[in-house]
Amino acid sequence: MEKKETLHRRDFLVRSLKVGAAVGVTGFLGWRFHDPEGPPGAQQEEDEVSLPDFSVPGMDRRLAVVRGEDRAATLELALHALGGMSAFVKEGDRVLVKVNAAFASPPILSATTHPALVERLVQLCFKAGAGEVIVTDNPINDPQSCFVLSGIEEAARRAGGRVIYPRSDLFQPTTLPGGRLIRSWPLLYGPFHGVNKLIGVAPVKDHHRSGASMIMKNWYGLLGGRRNVFHQDVHTIITELAMMVKPTLAILDGTTTMMTNGPTGGSLADLKATHTLIAGTDQVSVDAFGATLLDKTVLDLPFIHMAESAGVGTSRYETLNPTHLQVS
Amino acid sequence: MAIVTVRRISQVFFFLLFVWFSFVSTAGEEWWELRGWPANWFLQLDPLVALVTFLATFTFYAGLLWALLTILLTLVLGRFFCGWVCPFGTLQHFMGYWSGRFETLGHLQQKNRYHPYQVIKYYLLVFLLSMALGVALQKIIQAGLWTALLLYGGIALCLLLLFRETWLGEKKSKAIASVFFLAGASGLLAAFLQGGHRILASSVQTGLLDPIPLMHRSLNLFLFPVLGEPFRRGVVEPRLYEGAWVIGLIFVAVLLLCLKIPRFYCRFICPLGALMGILGKWALYRVGKTRVNCRDCSVCEAHCEGACEPMGAIRQHECVLCMNCLDDCHHGVMGYGTSRSLGGERDAPDISRRGLVLTVAAGVVSIPSMRLSGLLASNRDPHLVRPPGALREEEFLQRCIKCGQCMRICPTNIIHPGDFSHGVESLWTPVLNFRVGTSGCQLNCVACGHICPTAAIRPISLEEKLGEGRFADVGPVRMGMAFVDLGRCLPWTMDLPCIVCQENCPVSPKAIVVHEVFRPIRDPVHRVHSVMENDFIVVTLERLALQPARLATGDYYVRWVGEEARWRIQRNTEREIELVPQARGHISTQEGNEIEILVRLHLPQVDPHRCIGCGVCEHECPVTGKRAIRVTAENESREKRHSMILHGS
Amino acid sequence: MRRRRGRKETLVSALILVILVVIGGSVYWKQGRYDSRIFTFSAQPEGDVLMEASALHSHETELASFVPAGMMPFSPPEQFHSENLSDKINGKAEFYLSAGFQDLVSQRFASESLPGQWMEVFLYHMGDHRNAFAVYSGQKRSTAQDLDLAPFAYRTDNALFFAKGPHYVEIVASVADPVMQDMMLAFAQNMIGELVREGSSLQELDLLPAKGLLTESVYLISSDAFGFDALDNVLTARYRIRGKTLTAYLSMRDSSEEARSLAVSFEEFLNFFGAQALPQRPEIPHAAVLQVFETYEVIVQEGPVLYGVHDAPGLEEALELAERMHRRLADLEW
């Protein structure tokens, strides 16, 4: 009888302890995680990011215009005129090359950055001592097909670069200070981790809504979300993009210019062999010169003047004393 | 007083209280309306609701802390909730009692025998809870790969120690256990590499089987509407709920099954009962034999509600504390106290470890599998318009317990239980249907968010809903966007004047603007026989061409062919048209001229910057079948990815 | 068959029953405590709520800041301008619009303790104190009890009205209840303390002779007095003399010339409608005395003041009133 009682008491004690512990844990969790107001309204999720200034000090206001058919050759000559790639890319740098891979078009249609140009550019970056070269864009069409069919993926790989595809978790919201459109908007920020140099390289194209798609419009490919909504106010968005992105170098490829039916083009008849490559550190000037290849003026492209007024650069490229060269 | 008498009183009390709470969940201040009645108290007491939302959101929202009281009492007393409080249990208990009133003891003992399938409810509980584990696992992964592996290893070790008899006993078990361990580890690795977004997600689906939400749903959406809603404020037409017949069917079916097997749902299906059973494992007080003189007569088992075999080794996890065995035993053997039953006890259900692990894995994997259809991503259903204040879909599905309270409180009857078309997870979650009910979403109503027990619909203030005051730069809460169907809209496509949508648009300035156009009617041209300009200006036609009075609505105009000016028609007969007095002196009285009859149309156009998707336009549209203006979920403010217009434009 | 109920069992049973009673009581207590703002949708009027304020006339008066203890806002504040005033007060809008109405801010407040008892506060911005007084005096109810809350304030069984500075305020309660009346008074006091402190005194009021004045009939007509559109800004008051009721009026014009020409044109206006001139009286020189069918009119101009008697049933009484007014003016050294 006594043994039973002792057993019972011990069992009861053990149970009481377990119950007590359970109560304690539940009570603690309840107190710790109690939320009297419910979830907040405006989606206050991830922290916002912003792009740093990638321009190299002392290298501003430079512009070079090289005429020639071979992109690799014109590129090298242009960079040489600006001071050489090593003036921009230093030993161990991580370079991000923002190409235009918007469409799954073959290179001959000139709707995307030419793979030969990409390949040579990546090679030159490595030659100047870069530790890594990343090539990226957020295409309009399916990313896989765009990078492959445009030839950019193979070109980058051959030169030792790495293509980063725009996965959804690589986007983070950003706000342009003073901007009206870029407010908490998803930005392709993931590829920029550890990057300290940014080169934008794009072809010269006519554009149905904005008049032209060149270096400043090329940054559109860094935006995520339902960005087509910005087409309702396209000049403002291009201006805000130019304000947000400060590249190390801008390389505008006018070797074959898409004169009409941009930005997709589609016919070789849309193209004109203007055989010019423009490189510089002032993206407004670069675009202003590019406009001439389209037989347009700055007045035809409001975003150029808007970017100039915002202080991004100057549209009067002559004031930069551009170097004009010819590939023999 | 006998304890069973008190138990019956308690059951009746809580049952009536529950029905009353469900009944008063209508917006208003009369005593039969919501006022301050704590109508969600049972949902708040329900520990399954608190537990599953905690797993999915890592918060205990507001009143859900009541669940701690239930948990505390269950830990101490056992499954008192099932036998004394749960209204669904009471209802089933009654059905079982009713059918068993005149049956023999032997027959009753048969009905109330333990059945091995009673273990199913534990698997259901684990499965449902596992569906909500995604967020917790994601947090582990976000803590870093090594932390994750460490934690995983730690948990595996704990499980091993707890169930070491089984693991280390059979070789087969050991092999299977190792396989599962490795599978889990690789899954974790894969999830980590992917950032966890694809594989891990939480979804709260306990509402499907949890008896408290189930009963609220059955009352709100089936029973009350079917009975006619006698006290509902301003009922002009019966309340309707899409798909409510299924809910009713399930409810009735379960109750009918209880005639065959008492407390059918409690024993076999109820995940809340299963949770209580697990919590009651260490209960300080338990039912059991307190004396050794048991005659094995089985009288106690005739009315055993939980089918827990009190005569043998009583299954404590099934005992619902109905106390019938105490009351029935002629020899005073059964009692309720701190000692374990002298006849032996089983305090844990017969779940196989293998089964457990499989169920957990199934639960965790089920959600991402369901989400492959993309209904939460690019393949989302545009007709999924949720009430104002609803969270983003991922977060919404981490909270909604499908209780149907919002559907009952909505004064205009536009909140309906969703069906499978919006996704399996959205079954019985609130979806707006603007065609049904008395108007769209009323501009100044915020009732649904304030009654939601888990804040799946946030309790927004009127200020926030209208986008005023502090919320002026955020703007109003938008549920969607109205789109005019040009092929069905009467003025657009049939030249019939109508501006009902624009008239009824409740926001200010209106979100529907109209464009005035003049179009020739069918057979518009007529030749003039004569024109009279006396007290009235009457144009007589050469032929009897018109329908009398048809042009008198004030929308029809006459224009002389070759001229610009239009004159409104006041009245007409078959041959004569009377124009407004302003036409005097401006029209040609020559006979033989041709006139053209025009109809003035106001073509509606939605202003996307103003439209909040309240659905009043859709509700009022006279094209009553498929409405000529319909609200779909574009531009809903709860999901930035769905925004259709630029901010600040 | 029935076994013995142990004492412990009875005790536990009793305890549980007590708990059930406590739960029932708590639920009953809880049902009376709630925030009625959640249910305001049912009390909302049709029409626009909070329009965009027009740039020129926008008064951001926070009515909720004047709420006394025991009351709380019951509906969101509403604001109306000239274009949509009729949405709120329908045909009455014309009355205010012709008196210089700028905007109206209104809101409802409910009693925290007494369900179903609420009041609506209307704050009219009339531009200046004369306009405010005009609309105040123009609708003064006959069952008014004057309040010493402000120079121009009165109340009825379920409402309270006052004019202060350029504001005209109406507080209307849903019940004729003394507790609500106290609340309204407290509300009004809070408001008066905060509203513009500029004086609401109307100079002309002093010019009205006191004897025989029916005080509740004092009315400042903003425009179109007696059907004559040039006659604006006229203070009228009714008098009872020897059982006869007649109206005295006076208006301050900008200059003597203006007063003179207005007097002349008013006389012409009356002549047009069949008035007959009567010979002048020595008591009040340069007063025009006319008979319009069965009533009498007196028109006097003294300096910039145009005054007289209107619609008098008896000539003697009209002249006597005119003389009283003349003497009053003389006393005040006009």
Q: Which helix (H) or strand (E) holds B138?
A: helix B134-142
Closest CA to C329 of C305, C309, C298, C297: C305
Q: Which of B275, B446, B640, B643 should one mutate to test binding to chain A, selecting the residue with the greatest count of A CBs within 10 A? A: B640
Closest CA to A38 of C290, B151, B454: B454
CATH class, range C203-330: alpha beta
pLDDT tier at B257, thresholds 50, 70, 90: very high
CB C84 within 8 A of CB C47: yes
In sequence order, the β-bridge partners of residue B571 are B578
In this structure, what token pair is assigned to residue A314? 């100057």
Q: How do residues C71-92 score in pLDDT, each as one tens digit?
A: 887 777 778 887 777 666 765 6
Chain A: touching chains (3 or more CB pairs < 8 Å):
B
Phi, psi of B615 (to 5 degrees): 80, 5
Considering CB atoms only, which of C12, C44, C50 is closest to B468?
Answer: C50
Count of alpha carbons within 13 angstroms of residue B303, beta-carbon side: 18
Report the pLDDT value the prediction gives residue C201, as an integer from 0 to 100.
Answer: 66
In whole angstroms, give the CA distance from residue A238 to residue A215. 10
Closest CA to A17 of B65, B69, B75: B75
Q: How do residues B53-70 score in pLDDT, each as one tens digit?
A: 999 999 999 899 999 999
Q: Determine the structural domain holding residue B433 and report its residue range.
A: 393-479
CB A215 within 8 A of CB A287: yes
Q: How do residues B524-562 score in pLDDT, each as one tens digit?
A: 999 999 898 887 889 998 888 888 888 888 899 999 998
Report the pLDDT value the prediction gives residue B469, as an integer from 0 to 100.
Answer: 78
- SS3 category, B372: helix
Closest Cα of chain A to B212: distance in Å? 21
* pLDDT of C51 higher than 50: no
Neighbours of A178 (CB within 10 A): 9
Domains of chain A: 56-326 (3.40.50.11440)
- SS3 category, C96: helix
Q: What is the CATH number of domain C48-192?
A: 3.40.1000
How many residue pairs bridge chain A and chain B with CB atoms within 8 Å of each other? 91
Neighbours of B582 (CB within 10 A): 11
In this structure, what token pair is assigned to residue A97? 């090359």
Report the pLDDT value the prediction gives residue C45, as an integer from 0 to 100.
Answer: 34
Residue whose token pair is 């460490």: B150
Contact between chains at C13 and B330 (C-beta distance less than 8 A): no
DSSP, residue by residue, A247-297: -SEEEEEEEEEE-SSTTT--SGGGEE---EEEEES-HHHHHHHHHHHTT--
Report the pLDDT value the prediction gives residue B430, as an integer from 0 to 100.
Answer: 97
pLDDT tier at C49, thresholds 50, 70, 90: very low
pLDDT tier at B353, thresholds 50, 70, 90: confident
* pLDDT of C288 higher than 50: yes
CB B196 within 8 A of CB B141: yes
Considering CB atoms only, which of A18, A29, A38 is closest to B61?
Answer: A38
* pLDDT of B81 higher than 70: yes
Integer-rounded Cα radius of gyration of chain B: 33
Position B574 in a domain? yes
Length reported for chain B: 649
- Average pLDDT estimate for C4-17: 86
All residues of chain B having their beta carbon less than 8 Å from the beta carbon of residue C79 are: none
Average of per-residue pLDDT values in chain B: 88
**Chain B interface, Cβ < 8 Å to A:** 54, 57-62, 65, 68, 71-72, 75-76, 195, 197, 279, 282-284, 338-340, 391-392, 395, 455, 458-460, 464, 474, 640-649
For chain A, which ranges sit under pLDDT 70?
A: 1-2, 42-46, 266
CA C71 to chain centre: 23
pLDDT tier at B424, thresholds 50, 70, 90: confident
pLDDT tier at C273, thresholds 50, 70, 90: confident
- Average pLDDT estimate for B390-409: 94
In whole angstroms, give the CA distance from residue C254 to residue C269. 21
CB C234 within 8 A of CB C205: no
Between B228 and C28, whose confidence is greater?
C28
Report the pLDDT value the prediction gives residue C86, as an integer from 0 to 100.
Answer: 67
Determine the residue type at B79: R
**Chain B interface, Cβ < 8 Å to C:** 1-3, 5-6, 9-10, 13, 17, 27-29, 31, 34-38, 41, 233, 327, 329-330, 332, 411, 442-447, 450, 461-463, 466, 468, 508-509
In this structure, what token pair is assigned to residue B8? 């019956």
CB B557 within 8 A of CB B497: no
- How far apart, in Å, are the Cα atoms of A159 and each of A87, A105, A116, A133, C198? 20, 21, 10, 9, 83
- CATH number of the structural domain spanning residue B540: 2.40.10
Between B173 and C94, whose confidence is greater?
C94
- CATH number of the structural domain spanning residue B428: 3.30.70
- Which of B17-21, B535-539, C281-285 bottoms out in mean pLDDT, i.e. has the lowest? C281-285
Q: How do residues B637-648 score in pLDDT, each as one tens digit?
A: 998 878 887 654
Report the pLDDT value the prediction gives residue C43, as an integer from 0 to 100.
Answer: 34
Position B104 in a domain? no
pLDDT tier at C63, thresholds 50, 70, 90: confident
Q: Note whether C11 contacts B: Cβ–Cβ < 8 A.
A: no
In whole angstroms, give the CA distance from residue B288 to residue B547. 90
- SS3 category, C303: coil
Report the pLDDT value the prediction gives residue B220, as an integer from 0 to 100.
Answer: 94
Q: Which residues in B331-422 belong to E strands, given as ranges? A: 334-337, 345-346, 415-417
In whole angstroms, give the CA distance from residue B643 to residue B106. 67
Contacts of B24 (CB under 8 A, 6+ apart): B32, B33, B34, B35, B37, B39
**Do A and B share at least 3 CB pairs under 8 Å?**
yes
Closest CA to B103 of B261, B285, B221, B268: B261
* pLDDT of B166 higher than 60: no
Position B208 in a domain? no
Q: How do residues C227-239 score in pLDDT, each as one tens digit?
A: 888 888 899 999 9
- Average pLDDT estimate for B128-136: 89
In this structure, what token pair is assigned to residue C3? 């076994």
* pLDDT of B126 higher than 50: yes
Count of alpha carbons within 13 angstroms of residue B79, beta-carbon side: 30
Report the pLDDT value the prediction gives residue A144, as an integer from 0 to 100.
Answer: 85
In whole angstroms, give the CA distance from residue C49 to residue C79. 7
Q: How do residues B207-243 score in pLDDT, each as one tens digit?
A: 999 999 999 999 999 999 988 776 665 556 778 898 8
In whole angstroms, give the CA distance from residue B295 to residue B309. 15
**Could you report the predicted ipTM of this complex, rounded to two decimals?**
0.84
Q: Which helix (H) or strand (E) holds B514?
A: strand B512-533
Between C118 and A258, whose confidence is greater?
A258
* Whether the bond into A263 is cis, omega within 30 of 0: yes
Number of structural domains chain B divides into: 2
CB A67 within 8 A of CB A325: yes
- Which of A140-144, B44-48, C65-69, C193-197 bottoms out in mean pLDDT, i.e. has the lowest? C193-197
Q: Note whether C139 contacts B: Cβ–Cβ < 8 A.
A: no
- How far apart, in Å, are the Cα atoms of B525 and each of B528, B540, B543, B562? 10, 13, 11, 12
Q: Which of B479, B512, B540 is the last residue of a domain?
A: B479
| Terminal Cα-to-Cα distance of chain B (whole angstroms) | 73
- Which of B234-243, C33-42, C179-188 bottoms out in mean pLDDT, i.e. has the lowest? C33-42
Beta-sheet pairing, B566-572 with B576-579: antiparallel
DSSP, residue by residue, A309-323: HTTS--S-GGGG-PE
Report the pLDDT value the prediction gives residue C1, as an integer from 0 to 100.
Answer: 43
Phi, psi of B284 (to 5 degrees): -70, -35
DSSP, residue by residue, A174-234: E--TT-SS-SSEEEE-GGGTT--EEEEEEEEEEETTTEEESHHHHGGGGB-SSGGGGGGGH
Closest CA to A137 of A112, A116, A154: A112
Instruction: Show me where the domains of chain C are located.
Output: 48-192, 203-330
Contact between chains at B65 and A39 (C-beta distance less than 8 A): no
Considering CB atoms only, which of A27, A169, A229 is closest to B644?
Answer: A229
Closest CA to B428 of B204, B187, B173, B152: B204
Closest CA to B505 of B446, B441, B420, B599: B441
Q: How do residues C158-167 score in pLDDT, each as one tens digit?
A: 788 888 888 8
* pLDDT of C52 higher than 50: no
With 0-12 / 13-18 / 19 or more C-beta atoms within 10 angstroms meaning exposed / middle / buried, residue C139 is: middle
State the DSSP code for C166: T
In whole angstroms, give the CA distance from residue B455 to residue B403. 12
Integer-rounded Cα radius of gyration of chain C: 29
Closest CA to A11 of B4, B96, B469, B281: B281
pLDDT tier at B165, thresholds 50, 70, 90: low
Contact between chains at B444 and C40 (C-beta distance less than 8 A): yes
Phi, psi of B559 (to 5 degrees): -135, 130
* pLDDT of C265 higher than 80: yes
Q: Which of A29, A165, A232, A235 should one mutate to test binding to chain B, selecting the residue with the greatest count of B CBs within 10 A? A: A29
Q: How do residues C244-258 score in pLDDT, each as one tens digit?
A: 889 999 998 888 899
Q: How do residues A127-170 score in pLDDT, each as one tens digit?
A: 999 999 999 999 987 888 889 889 999 999 999 999 999 987 78
